[in-house]
Amino acid sequence: MSQARKINVGLMGLGVVGGGVASVLLDTDQQVSAQVGMPVTLKKVLVRDSSRQRDTSVPVEMLTTDPEDLLGDPDIDMVVEVMGGIDPAARYLSRALASGKHVVTANKEVMAKHGPELFKAARQGGANLLFEASAGGGIPIIGSLMGQLLANEIRSIRSIINGTTNYILTRMAYQGAQFSNALAEAQEQGYAEADPTNDVEGYDAVYKISILASLAFHQRVPPEDVYREGISRLEPQDFRYARELGYAIKSLAIATLDPEGVGARVYPVLIPVDHMLGKVDGVYNAVEVTGSLCGQVLLHGMGAGRGPTTSAVVGDLIDIGRRIQAKEPPADAGFSGSSGRKPLPVRSMDDLHTRYYIRLNVTDQAGVLAQISRILGDLGISIASVLQKDTFPQDQTAELVITTHPSREASVQEALRLVGSLGVVNRVSNMLRIEE
Ligand SMILES: NC(=O)c1ccc[n+]([C@@H]2O[C@H](COP(=O)([O-])OP(=O)(O)OC[C@H]3O[C@@H](n4cnc5c(N)ncnc54)[C@H](OP(=O)(O)O)[C@@H]3O)[C@@H](O)[C@H]2O)c1
């Protein structure tokens, strides 16, 4: 790394986000340099295919397909990684950091899976590593957890952090759309990828909440410890019944801290329609943080897209640039274990204590509810409400919607197994947790 009097940047990736970052660095370089206090220059851009036509102002001679042109160049002080994927991104970042190049990344998968190794490499190389865009896009949640909220013990994070999923759920709620139609519409609008698995099955949100929980609780909460359910099993009637009960359905990424441990989960929930998170619609994201001093804080905004993500990436770049300018030592992101307290265990989903919404398809005859109530009662699950919903005279079945008082997850799972085996129950159609 050069002993910088100016900062040379190597950009890895020139797609949706990279295109935005390049145009800020090329078109408004004066402003960026003024913010940093020294000249900031885009030097090289790594892509897969340098012959591709691109709608950017990046000169062709700046493009390269050889990572050595960035990683092996001692004049490049900072690498901005917006390629995505694990390999080769994790390898490139590890090498850049270990050799003293500062790194900004938008890569949630790399940060969630390889964050600790990357911080180790950063310490080894004396480099900064920032990753604001890796969760919540343009919402400054990571910087808040690493800065202004540090005085708090963070008790919980509840977030809507996948815009694709939230768009689909909004369509299902307001248009009564089937999941498959809402997904097709999201794909047409460019909000969902051709293979939507990562978004609709919750993997993307798992990576993001893994990062946020690790920062909030100062201990590693790896993605494999995050419980996950997707949204593809939701049906239009779930939204109708939820609304009748006063709830919206949202996919939440949740992280909690209590004396027994930390918990992290991603799944669709019922949340009161008048709760702020219940009103976050379309591709918008929101993150609610509950801290010991600040109480509840809610950040709301665009979680993806060129502009919002570029805002987060360039914000990190300026932050690191200022540290370089001020000759400050690298900041410790507190990603894992800097609080000085012993890491708490990750709590099992079995121990979750919450309210439940259960939708059953049953035979339309007397005595059905009594059989179901007996099973729930025997397992200590108290019923809060029962709605007999749509009936289907042609096959003499009916839909029964039950909500419970707070109950233990393991008991509810056991009850659903037993209820599902009753002769009068055709199907356990859905089970959702209720957030208040
Ligand atoms: N898009 C968003 O709204 C958003 C929001 C938050 C975070 N992010 C994160 O930002 C990152 C980039 O997302 P994106 O939407 O900008 O992706 P994208 O549009 O698919 O662009 C990826 C870019 O990386 C280059 N690239 C990919 N693999 C490469 C390799 N092995 N070697 C060299 N270049 C490679 C591609 O080169 P070619 O152009 O030659 O194909 C392309 O320019 C991802 O980690 C994503 O999760 C994105």
Distance 152 CA to ligand 1 centre (A): 35
- Where the chain has pLDDT below 50, the residues are none
Distance 45 CA to ligand 1 centre (A): 12
Name the fold adopted by 141-302: Dihydrodipicolinate Reductase; domain 2 (3.30.360)
Which of 187, 321, 167, 183 is CA-nearest to residue 251?
167
pLDDT digits (tens, 9 = 90+) for 175-221: 999 999 999 999 999 999 999 999 999 999 999 999 999 999 999 99
Judge if the beta carbon of residue 52 lies within 6 A of ligand 1. yes
**Residue-level pLDDT at 249:** 98
Judge if the beta carbon of residue 105 lies within 6 A of ligand 1. no
**Residue-level pLDDT at 334:** 66
CATH 3.30.360.10 residue ranges for the chain: 141-302
> Sheet harboring 7-12: ordered strands across?
63-64, 40-46, 7-12, 78-81, 102-105, 129-130
At the fourth CATH level, the homologous superfamily of domain 350-434 is: ACT domain (3.30.70.260)
Among this protein's residues, is 208 annotated catalytic?
yes
**Residue-level pLDDT at 23:** 96
| Residue 312 burial (10 A CB sphere; 0-12, 13-18, 19+) | buried
**Residue-level pLDDT at 92:** 98
Judge if the beta carbon of residue 308 lies within 6 A of ligand 1. no
* Mutation to probe ligand 1, out of 45, 82, 199, 314 (largest number of atoms < 8 A from CB): 82
Domain 7-138+306-325 in this protein, CATH class:
alpha beta
Ligand 1 atom, smallest distance to 88 CA? 31
CATH 3.40.50.720 residue ranges for the chain: 7-138+306-325
pLDDT digits (tens, 9 = 90+) for 355-382: 999 999 999 999 999 999 999 999 999 9
Distance 107 CA to ligand 1 centre (A): 9
pTM > 0.85: yes or no: yes
Contacts of 251 by beta carbon, 8 Å cutoff, 6+ apart: 160, 162, 165, 166, 169, 202, 205, 231, 266, 267, 268, 269
DSSP structure class, residue 346: B
